[in-house]
Amino acid sequence: MPVLLEVKNLKTYFKVYHGLVKAVDDISYHIKKKEIVGLVGESGCGKSVSQLSVLQLIPTPPGEIVAGQIIFEGQDLLQFEANGDEMRSIRGGGIAMVFQEPMTSLNPVLTIGRQLTEGLELHLGMDVNEARNRAIELLSMVGIPDADKRIDDYPHQFSGGMRQRVMIAMALSCNPKIIIADEPTTALDVTTQAQLLELMTDLVSRFNASLVIVTHNLGVIARYAQRLYVMYAGRIVESGTAKEIFGNPRHPYTIALLNCVPRLDEEEGRKLVPIEGMPPNLLNMPITCAFKPRCPYHIERCGQDPWPDLKLIEGQHYVRCYVET
């Protein structure tokens, strides 16, 4: 499959009073057409910031994309002004995003219908009636009953799961090539989570779109993603196909994440193994491995030499580590 999006050496930093926070520090990855890719890691590892950088939604100041390329369909998006017409046409039209918390993403004083039709009128040039009919169709498609009546309701009149369905409808509305789902099931019960994820994967398949799932839930990635990137302290520490990483995890952090996940095939009474310590403070990070203080496998070199580059293990499997696990 051809590559739709290629991110090269992306660096996004935040200048704060006490120093420089390197939220995303030199990451490279790609998304192919009709592919589901997972981005995994603990809170604060840079997952969401990396995806907000793609759409140039980083608040400036204090944030700034200081280096890198974001190539979408042959164009470097960083050459466009963040608030320019070119970038606005990409947002929603080429790359759409399902944000983490729908109640803070939806405008509380506008009806659901108006928030859906605005993008259809802007990106697809529909008139008012066409946009309304398409919005009703989209709401029905994502499983909202009585869509022709609910379209005139406000966000507070919907449950959390229904609001997230509205966000999915908005993301799909303008037929984007890539959909970024940033923790799409946060604060939802497990039944609703499963329904939404099945719905989302079915719809992106029907629309021939690619899907990026940003999450800390490895169970979700194991079920839906074809490839994944594991992030820690603003960098990608392991990448590969889901089969390669779940079948043969090589970075100590990936191994630690998998050990935190309960499994049905494990013997009864097995205790989950927590990751000791805390994620690092991204303020003025050292050049050595950021995971060393929490790593049970670390060697002397880990605390002396700079964090290594990603190295190929086999196939599409890459890892950033000195230790042979």
The stretch 112-123 carries a mean pLDDT of: 89
293 versus 102: the higher-pLDDT residue is 293
pLDDT of residue 192: 75
Q: Which of 19-23, 50-54, 189-193, 213-217 has the lowest mean pLDDT?
A: 189-193
pLDDT of residue 325: 61
Which of the given ranges, 184-198, 264-278, 303-317, has the highest pLDDT on average?
A: 303-317
How large a percentage of the chain has pLDDT more than 70?
A: 98
pLDDT of residue 261: 76
Residue 40 to residue 232: CA distance in whole angstroms: 9
Average pLDDT value for the chain: 87
Q: Which of 162-166, 189-193, 195-199, 239-243 has the lowest mean pLDDT?
A: 189-193
Distance of CA 221 to the CA centre of its chain: 11
pLDDT of residue 24: 93
Whether residue 167 is predicted with pLDDT greater than 90 in this model: the reply is: no
**Using the 8-state DSSP alphabet, how is residue 254 labeled?**
H
pLDDT of residue 37: 94
pLDDT tens for 284-320 read 788 889 999 898 888 888 888 888 899 999 999 999 9
Q: Which long-range contacts (CB under 8 A, 24 or more apart) does 306-312 make?
A: 307/235, 310/236, 310/239
Give residue 187's pLDDT band: very low, low, confident or very high (50, 70, 90).
low
Residues 6+ apart with CB under 8 A from 65: 10, 11, 12, 53, 56, 58, 78
pLDDT tens for 31-86 read 999 899 999 998 888 899 999 999 999 988 888 999 999 999 889 999 988 888 88
CA separation (Å) from 320 to 106, 197, 236? 39, 30, 8
pLDDT of residue 169: 87
**Using the 8-state DSSP alphabet, how is residue 110 labeled?**
S
Residue entry with tokens 């491995």: 289
The answer to whether the pTM exceeds 0.85 is: yes
Whether residue 168 is predicted with pLDDT greater than 90 in this model: the reply is: no
Assess contact for 234 and 25: CB atoms under 8 A: yes
